[in-house]
Amino acid sequence: MDVYREIYNTEKIPPPHPIKHKRGGGNRTEYCEYHQIYRHSTNECFDLKNVIERLAREGRLDWFLASKTERPRKRRREEEMERVERPHHTPKRHVHMINGGFARGGISKSSCKRHLKEVYHVGGGDRSADLPNITFFQDAVGIIPGHDDPMVITMILANANLHQTLVDQGSSSDILFKSAFNKLGLQDKELRAYPNSLFGLGDTPIQLLGYISLHTTFGKGTRSRTVNIDYIVVDVNSAYNAPIGQRTLNQLTTVVFTPHLCMKFPIPEGIDTIKGDQKIARRCYNESLNLKGDPKGEEINTIKLEGVQAREEL
C-alpha cells in the first residue's frame, strides 16, 4: 500500500494487534508489511486501513492528501506548457483519396489532362455561375433529431421509381448495382466498356461490368429535373440500389443538408426539395451490417417498377 510506505517514516504508526490462529503459516504468496507476516496482502489489511483512517480524521495526513492532489495539477500544467511551447512542424506526408468514374473529366487520358489543367486557370476570367439562394428552414419535420443517418431518396430511372438511392457526396462516381440493373429490365448488351478502374476503400480495384447512360429524374411532376447520368455498373452486393455521387449533385446544383435529411436544387419554377427517408436509411444500414456477417453475401433489394413492387432474393 503506497500510503503506508510513504507515511511509515514520517508518522508514528501504532504497532499492529497480534493475529490469532496463525497455524499453517498462512498464504505464502501474500505478505503484509504492517503485520510482517505471510497471511494477507498489505492492501487487504483491515487493521492498517483502520489506522490510516484514524490518522486522516486527526488531520495527521493532510500533508499527504495535499501532495496527492497537487501532483495531477502540476502534471497538467506541465503538459499544457509543453503544448504551448512545442514548435509547430509542417507535415511532410500527404494522404489523398483514390477514386474513379467520370468526375475527372471523361474516360480518355486527354480529357482527364484537360480537366486537371482547368483548376490552374480558375482565375483567368469571370466564370462564376448565377446561383439562386437556397435556405433550409422547417425542413426537419418528421426527422428524428441528432441522427447520423445517410441521405437515401427515391428517383425515377428507366420508367421506374428506384428506391434505396444513396446520396453519396464523397463519391466521384454514379453507381448502378447489377441487381437493380436487372430489375429495371436493362440488358447487358446496352453496356459500354469502361477502360479504367474504380477504387473504393483500400487499393484493390472494383471489377466493373461497364457503363450505361440513362435519363434520370429527381423530383415529381413539373417540380423536377431530368439529367443524363453515366452509371458505372458493378456486380457486388449492396443494401442500396444506386449511389449518386458528386458529379450528378454538381450537375443539378444540389445543396444537401444532412441534419434535415434534405436536398434542394433550382428548377424553372424556383427551388425543388427532396426529402430523405429516415426509415429506409436505417433499414439499409442494418442490411449492410448483415451483408458483412453473411459468408454467402446474400441480400434482398427492393424497387418499385411502375407501381408494382418487385422483390428478389439474390
Q: CATH no. for residue 252?
A: 2.40.70.10
Query: Residue 108 falls within a domain, yes or no?
Result: no
Phi and psi at residue 153, to the nearest 5°: -130, 180
Q: Give residue 222's domain range.
A: 139-313
Report pLDDT for 28: 73
Q: Which helix (H) or strand (E) holds 80?
A: helix 62-85
Whether residue 245 has pLDDT greater than 80: yes
Residue 190: the pLDDT is 96
Structural domain contains residue 46:
yes
Residue with cell 505464502: 28
Q: Tell me, yes or no, whether 173 and 266 share the same domain.
A: yes
Last residue of a domain, one of 20, 50, 84: 84
For residues 151 and 295, state if they share a domain. yes
What mean pLDDT do residues 194-209 have?
73
Cell of 215: 435519363
Is 94 part of a structural domain of the chain? Answer: no
Residue at 112 is within a domain: no
Same domain, 154 and 46: no
Do 80 and 143 lie in a common domain? no
67 and 193 share one domain: no
Dist. CA 244–CA 125, nearest whole Å? 31
**Is residue 255 located within the same domain as residue 184?**
yes
Same domain, 149 and 24: no
pLDDT at 302: 37
Q: Report the amino acid identity of residue 213.
A: S
154-198 pLDDT, tens per residue?
Answer: 999 999 999 999 999 988 889 999 999 999 999 999 999 988 777
With residue 66 as reference, give the H or E element that holds it. helix 62-85
Asked if the structure places residue 97 within a domain, the reply is no
Number of domains in the chain: 2
Q: Are residues 150 and 75 in the same domain?
A: no
The answer to whether 276 and 151 are in contact (CB under 8 A) is yes
Residues 143 and 80 occupy one common structural domain: no
Same domain assignment for residues 71 and 146: no
